[in-house]
Structure 1
Amino acid sequence: MNTVLPVAGSRDVRAYAAHLARHHRTKVALMIGLHALAALAALAAPRLLGDLVESVENGTTTSHVDTIIAVLAVFLVLQTVLTRYARYVSQSFGEQVLAELREDFVDNTLALPVGVVESAGSGDLLTRTSRDVDQLGWSVRWALPEWTIAVVTAALTFVAAITVGWWVLLPCLLGVPPLVIGLRWYLARAKDGYLRENATYSAISATLTESTEGARTVESLGLGDERIRTIDGNCGDSYDAEKYTLRLRTVFFPSMEIAYLLPTVATLLFGGWLYTRGQVSLGEVTAATLYVQMLIDPVDRVVAIMDELQIGAASLARLLGVAQVPDDRVATGAQPQGEKLDAEDVRFAYVEGRDVLHGVDLSVGVGERIAMVGPSGAGKSTLGRLLAGIHPPGAGSVTVGGVGLTELPLDDLRGHVALVTQEHHVFVGSMRENLALAAKPGATDEDIWAALAAVDAEEWVRALPDGLDEAVGSGGRSLTAAQAQQVALARLVLADPHTLVLDEATSLIDPRAARHLERSLAAVLHGRTVIAIAHRLFSAHDADRVAVVEDGRITELGSHDELVHADGSYAALWRSWNGT
């Protein structure tokens, strides 16, 4: 069962938003100030039109009407100019905030413990890095600036309406109860609804990704119908979640229309009644009605965009939740005394109560080469990952130089122990960039060529049209599985750790070429500790010692000759390998 990555709470989302506002206080102040000035310029129109109506009622001249129209035109032009720059600042602010959010998310994602990434599966992270980021981008780029404009405009318009006369407050208050009740009802349900909706997208992505990546396994085991039923179930859950949020919107938005219409109608009726009593002028009734009418658009946008902000807040909560995954290591500051690697009474379980490793003891001397062999599913790769510090042991200890691997910061750990598996990835970029990302600071092209030569890759890399500048990865030159594995091994050479854990690191390379490659690597890595997990037993033949792993235990440990002479499990494997 996959681990579900956490989701940040409302308090964390608000705290992050407040942090961004404080960090960009100057730009936020400029943005709000420009929108306020634009709103003030727009508020001149109702007042001027009210004065115009009153002037016409009392008798006026053509020149006076022309003057009012000219002043009105000036305010409209001023509003247009201010709105243009206000939106420019808002869009710029939105892009900057979105860039920071993405950078924070990438940093938090890269800091996730590898074990958590594996147990969570790719679907959840894929959805967060794609749909949630896109949705948040839409909210930050468009919804947040528009909502800010609407709030500022609504507040200033309301104040302007009240300045016409105290009586305008009474019609406006009629719209408050349905507005408050509707908002409270909607906000109490919206966040959970949108979180559930996003979670169903994660489930769909996970099922599709797992089915695609494991297509051969699905086909060979006849699991096609089961996977179809699973994705149908995921789609059904997504349909239910979408239907729920749609129901929220279909109830919420129509109810808001009442809150908009009541104040306008009430202002016109109440103002007309006061006018008949001689308590207000026709110009005041006109201005008040126009102001209250003007309130409809910004309030409507505030409410409508609230829906977008709820979706954005749900996406932000999922992105921030990645940072809440507890670390699987606590740096104590202790410094290893040497490079000796020890595992004592190590136990480990992927699922609680079902141990994969059962009290494993293994001491690896500095510069020693150990081969781990055994049947598939015996626990070799799991033990290798613990020895590389990928997973902390469930019980017992794994130490380097007397210090637990999970007590070392990740950067320090990789200077001591590094893992290379048969899984590999070619990043988008040049060949040089793909290799240099693992190199220590100050590595030169000569160092990169030397690493490529060590893994028998120099010849084909030099044959590329642009050499180290050749674009590879998605959209660039496609590398074969064997070439990609050589690139991964070259990164290992450039990383220059003292202890290497090689988990089927040459499995995708032709056996004869793999034999030559391992000998080349052995020459380059002379003096370093190497733990090689392999099915090809020539690796075991060349090792100082061989560890036979069966059922989560080391059942045999010794040199190749010793184990062959003992005529146990290893001897049977060796005879089978050699066909004797």
Structure 2
Amino acid sequence: MSRQLPVAGPAEVRAAAVRDLRADRSAVAGLIFVNGLASAAGLVGPWLLGRIIDTIQTRSGSGDVLSTVDRLAFGALVFTVVQTVLTWWALKIGYRFGERTAARVRERFLQRTLTLPARSADQLPTGDLIARGSTDASRVALTLRSAVPEVLVAIVHALFLIVAVLVLDLRLGLCGLVCLIGVGAAVRWYLRRARPAYLAVAAAGAELADVVASTAKGARTVQLLGLEDRRTEATETAIARARSAFLGALWLRTVLFPWSEVSLGLPVAGVLLVGGGLYLNGSVSLGVVVTATVYLRQLVGPLDTLMLWIEQLQGAGASYARVEGLADVPAEETEPDVAAGPTGDRIQVENAYYSYTGARDVLRDINLLVQPGERLAIVGTSGAGKSTLARLLAGLDRPHTGSVTIGGTPVADLPPDHLREHVVLITQDHHVFHDTVRDNLLIARPNATDQELHAALDAVGAPWLADLPHGLDTELGTDFTLDGAGAQQLSLARVVLADPHTLILDEATAQLDPRTARRTEQSLAAVLRGRTVIAIAHRLQTAHDADRIAVMEAGKLVELGTHTELVTAGHTYGKLWHSWHGGPSNPEPT
């Protein structure tokens, strides 16, 4: 069973967020500075409004009261325009910062995914990994684009307003802050419950994606074995868990928002009541009460923005923890120094035992020597251990007992870039990138010429090469679509370009029709002459052409020899050959 991907803890998420902020510290500083200016400009308007009220109240009989009010009103208009422009500038800086940071988060996730150890990557749940790279990464990117600038603008604006009302009149300011206790209590209650709730939502969504992906991938097997009801039940169970988790998070929001909406109106009501009493006692002027009321009314805007983003940030925080959690995937065990590299190309397996779970060995006492330039076919019934042995030979897995070496060096100890210079494993799984044919091939050898790319495609007998509308510049998936056979031939062409000295084919031509598969294998044989080729053969004709044949049965190597020797012996391989060939006991094909 695949293990669950780790989730970063709060400390790790905070550390990652700090690193992202530091990476673009000039934009963060500019955002705070410009927004500070905008908030300061926004305080002038309400203060001038208070002055207007006091001027009208105290100088109502004066002749120049109208001109004074006009000047104060014009000043309020100017500062309102200044605030608007500065706020727009601050948001522009913030959105650009968010786009750059979102790109860094995506690139970091992709880099971590691509550098996962092969053995670890194979055991990871595909649906969870896809959900983290798509849904979670997109949510983090959206939050960085929008939340960071809007939240910073709201925080700075709120702080300026709180300080302004305290400076204006300490009593009214304290009254307003006391009335905000309800908001603080609601937020504290919500935050204590939000992280596990949103992590549960993300985990349930990943589980659902994994179930759907695995069901779609194994659709043929599901239909063949009549497992539709079981897969439907598994899908409905995953949907029910996702729904339950989502409703749990929704319930938190239904408590937070109504309570906060009521609480946000209390400061204005409290200041009006207290301020009215102080004004009747002659302790403050009417203008001060109005200014404080306007400040606290303006405070509702940034606080409301913060409340909305607090809810969004919990979901984004859970997604951020899942994206950053990829860094906690255990690395490979410490490897010995293999800087010198293998001394030669000989592959040797000695007394190798291997188990996926530790409970039962799927390979037992394997001893095998593959000489440089040899063509070895590995045959056996389904579940005999052929593909598992191929993984050990390719360094993707390590035997828990015994050794698998190349040139005297354990294959699994070679660094990935060094390993691929010696051994390449190619399976029937393949991938075509939505890019040009040229770029799809240059993955294997970035400095290859167009002539070499054409030669590689010709080597694997790709008939579709002549049909490409724009040659090597044809966009696959847009200008031209490859079928399964074409995609597999493209994958084989990459191997030709990589030019390793040992090539392991794990049923690499399984999706080709017999004639095309035969032509492709013959083309590969011509290109790879003089190199070691180990083929997991599901067609015995492939085994017939090999120098030697290794026969696997129930995790053990039971026969090893040439085609003629094994057919003549009449044991496991001989029986397979006669059953497949359907002819007389003749070691040579008709």
TM-score bracket, shorter-length normalisation: over 0.9
The answer to whether the 8 A contact 2:346-2:371 is kept is: yes
Distance 1:512 1:274 in 2: 97
Q: Secondary structure at the match of 1:354?
A: coil
Contact 1:332 1:407 in 2 (8 A): yes
Report the equivalent of 1:549. Answer: 552
Aligned to 2:530: 527
Deviates more, 1:105-114 or 1:86-95: 105-114
Distance 2:405 2:346 in 1: 8
Match of 2:408 in 1: 402
Distance 1:257 1:348 in 2: 62
Q: Which residue of 2 aligns with 1:144?
A: 148
Give the 5 Å matches for 1:562-577: 562-577=565-580
Q: Could you tell me which amino acid in structure 2 is paired with residue 17 of structure 1?
A: A
Aligned to 2:363: 357
In structure 2, the residue matched to 1:29 is 29
Deviation at 1:347, TM superposition (A): 2.6
Displacement of 1:211 in angstroms is 1.4
Deviation at 1:258, TM superposition (A): 4.3
Is contact 1:268–1:289 with CA below 8 Å preserved after alignment? yes
Contact 1:329 1:406 in 2 (8 A): no
1:107 and 2:142 are equivalent in the alignment: no
**Structure 1 segment 96-495 matched on structure 2, within 5 A:** 96-328=100-332, 330-334=334-338, 335-439=341-445, 441-457=446-462, 459-473=463-477, 475-495=478-498
CA displacement at 1:376 relative to structure 2:
0.8
Q: Do the aligned partners of 2:278 and 2:284 also contact (CA within 8 Å) in 1?
A: yes
Deviations 1:163-201 (A, max 9, x none): 102212321331353333322221111111111101111
Alignment coverage as a number of residue pairs: 577
Deviation at 1:331, TM superposition (A): 4.6
Q: 1:449 to 1:331 in 2, by over 3 A?
A: farther
Are the equivalent residues in 1 in contact too, given 2:179–2:266 (CA < 8 A)? yes
Match of 2:388, SS state, is: helix
Q: Give structure 2 stretches of 5+ with no counterpart.
A: 584-590
Q: Distance in 2 between matches of 1:434 and 1:136?
A: 29
Task: Give the match's secondary structure for 2:158.
Answer: helix
Matched residues in 2 for 1:323 and 1:308: separation? 24
TM-score (norm. length: structure 1): 0.96
Instruction: Tell me whether 567-576 or 392-401 shows the greater mean CA deviation.
Output: 392-401
Contact 1:171 1:262 in 2 (8 A): no
- Contact between 2:180 and 2:267, CA under 8 Å: does it hold in 1? no
Shift of 1:2: 3.0
% same residue: 45
Post-superposition Cα deviations, 1:518-540, rounded to whole Å, max 9, x if no partner, equal 22211211221111001211222
Task: Give the TM-score, by structure 2 length.
Answer: 0.94
SS of residue matched to 2:361: strand
- For residue 328 of structure 1, give the secondary structure of its aligned residue in structure 2: coil
Q: CA RMSD in A?
A: 1.6
Tell which deviates more after alignment, 341-350 or 520-529.
341-350
Shift of 1:329: 5.6
Distance in 1 of aligned mates of 2:537 and 2:122: 22
CA distance in 2, matches of 1:129, 1:101: 10
* Alignment check: 8 A CA contact 1:171 1:264 kept: no
Note the alpha carbon deviations across 1:189-216, whole angstroms, 9 max, x for none. Answer: 1111111101111111111111112112
Trace 1:41-56 onto structure 2 (pairs within 5 A).
41-56=41-56
1:96 positional shift: 0.5
Shift of 1:330: 4.2
Does the CA contact (< 8 Å) of 1:271 and 1:285 recur in 2? Answer: yes
Structure-2 separation of matches of 1:182 and 1:188: 10
AA aligned to 1:48 is: L
Alignment of 1:493-504 (within 5 A): 493-504=496-507
- Structure 1: which amino acid aligns with 2:373? G
> 2:513 & 2:266 partners in 1: Cα distance?
79
Contact 2:50/2:288, CA 8 A, preserved across alignment: yes
Q: Between 504-513 and 138-147, report the one with greater CA deviation.
A: 504-513
- Residues 328 and 392 in structure 1, CA contact (< 8 A), matched pair in contact too: no
Q: Amino acid of the residue matched to residue 451 of structure 2?
A: E
**Contact 1:175 1:258 survives alignment (8 Å):** no
Instruction: Give the AA of the match of 2:5.
Output: L
Partner of 1:9: 9
CA contact (8 A) 1:34 1:83 kept: yes
Contact 1:422 1:505 in 2 (8 A): yes
Unmatched 5+ stretches in structure 1: none
8 Å Cα contact 2:469/2:479 also seen in 1: no
| Range that drifts further, 20-29 or 354-363 | 354-363
Structure 2 counterpart of 1:51, which letter?
R
Matches of 2:406 and 2:157, distance apart in 1: 64
Whole-angstrom CA distance in 2 between matches of 1:384 and 1:64: 90
- Residues 329 and 408 in structure 1, CA contact (< 8 A), matched pair in contact too: no
Q: CA-to-partner distance for each residue in 1:398-423, whole Å, 9 max, x for gaps?
A: 22222222322211111111011111
Residue 527 of structure 1: SS of its match in structure 2? coil
